[in-house]
Amino acid sequence: MMHRVDREHSREKTDRTETHEDRGEHEFARQLVKELETARENGTFKHLVLVAPPKFLGQLRAELAAPLEACVVQSLDKDYTHMSEDELAKHVHLG
């Protein structure tokens, strides 16, 4: 089963160390990990594949607690947000 979560955000560059956008991404990562942890606790999945652009994937990994992290069987630092679910499935192999 594949579940896709998207969050539109700008990719505007700035010289500031942490932008409003960065804080928004960190909050989204925390929220997403909280939802994933709830799903794990409910038995919704046993294995998890994380697919996100490199920077956001790092933010997600930083938020993972050990039980959820143990479910991660694959992670891809790619931006596949433009792909359909069928196209995405071709890039994510659940061996």
Q: Tokens in use for 62? A: 């930083």
Instruction: With cut-offs at 50, 70 and 90, classify the pLDDT of residue 17.
Output: low
Q: What does 3-49 look like in DSSP terms, one character per residue?
A: ------------SSSS-HHHHHHHHHHHHHHHHHHHHHHTTS-S-EE
Instruction: With cut-offs at 50, 70 and 90, classify the pLDDT of residue 9.
Output: very low
When mean pLDDT is compared across 4-8, 36-40, 85-89, the lowest value belongs to: 4-8
E strand residue ranges, 1-95: 48-52, 72-77
E strand residue ranges, 40-92: 48-52, 72-77
pTM higher than the cut 0.85: no
Please give the single-letter amino acid code of residue 45: F
pLDDT digits over 53-79, tens only? 999 999 999 999 999 999 999 999 999
Paired with 78 in beta bridges are: none
Please give the single-letter amino acid code of residue 47: H
